[in-house]
């Protein structure tokens, strides 16, 4: 009898966990956003379960232009396009991730322009891939990318920019000083250490940005990343 209860309990817990892990897919579907089964559910959790970017003043309006730098599988890009009616320009360097990103955009018919490109300061960057994210110092699988700078691209307007590139945020900002200083979009940036946060903050303040909101922060168990935090900036 106890053995039967134990087996039932384990099966119940496994079933419950499997349902829980897929909740981001279900939340996304309820909002009218659909994702390929190739998309890891955890990649959708921040946007569709945790509502991480649902911040007043930092959501686009219909027809606005948004840059998603470090687009991953398209969670934010598709949310912005399908829910808010924004035109999204997405940059994602990892080829395997980019192919699924492209599939997700096609599934939704989202207004997302795709670039399989690493943005930075125009120099080479060396990072590591764990299969679905680009994180410096995590894996033995070293990857070298030649970056483009945002300033190499021409934009008539940009209303909002999100930068989440797993430790290379400062390099992206260095290559975007002209564009940010000229067009003055609102900015969401995820920094991956306290020192990186300080460097990015100093650079942004030097071109007229002010920190409006300090969002969620946590301490990951990853070498070189002592604090991950979302920061929200605008030009006063």
Question: Which whole number is the average pLDDT over 164-175?
Answer: 92
Strand bridging mode 124-128 / 87-91: unpaired
Sheet containing strand 112-115, strands side by side: 112-115, 87-91, 65-69, 160-163, 186-191, 228-235, 209-218
User: pLDDT band at residue 202, thresholds of 50, 70 and 90?
Assistant: very high
Higher pLDDT, 26 or 136: 26
* pLDDT band at residue 83 using 50, 70 and 90 as cut-offs: very high
Interatomic CA distance for residues 78 and 87, integer angstroms: 10
SS3 state at 44? helix
- The pLDDT confidence band at residue 132, using thresholds 50, 70 and 90, is very low
Residue 175 CB coordination number (10 Å): 21
Length of the chain: 236
**Which pTM does this prediction carry?**
0.86
pLDDT value, residue 15:
61
| Summary mean pLDDT of the chain | 87
């Amino acid at each position: 009898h106890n053995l039967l209860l134990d087996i039932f309990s384990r099966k119940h817990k496994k079933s419950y966990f499997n349902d829980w892990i897929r909740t981001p897919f279900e939340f996304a579907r309820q909002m009218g956003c659909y994702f390929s089964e190739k998309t890891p559910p955890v990649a959708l959790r921040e946007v569709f379960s945790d509502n991480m970017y649902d911040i007043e003043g930092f959501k686009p309006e219909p027809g606005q232009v948004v840059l998603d730098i470090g687009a991953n599988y398209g969670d934010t890009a598709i949310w912005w396009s399908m829910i808010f009616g924004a035109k999204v320009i997405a940059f994602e360097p990892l080829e395997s991730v980019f192919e699924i990103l492209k599939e997700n955009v096609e599934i939704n018919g989202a207004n997302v322009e795709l670039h399989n490109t690493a943005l930075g300061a125009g120099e080479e960057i060396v990072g590591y891939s764990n299969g679905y994210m680009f994180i410096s110092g995590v894996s033995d699988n070293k990857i070298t990318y030649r970056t483009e700078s945002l300033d190499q691209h021409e934009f008539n307007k940009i209303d909002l920019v999100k930068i989440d590139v797993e430790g290379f945020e400062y390099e992206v900002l260095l290559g975007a000083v002209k564009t940010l200083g000229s067009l003055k979009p609102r900015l969401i940036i995820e920094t991956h250490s306290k020192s990186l946060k300080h460097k990015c903050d100093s650079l942004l303040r030097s071109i007229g940005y002010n920190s409006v909101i300090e969002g969620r922060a946590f301490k990951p168990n990853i070498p070189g990343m002592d604090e991950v935090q979302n920061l929200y900036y605008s030009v006063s």
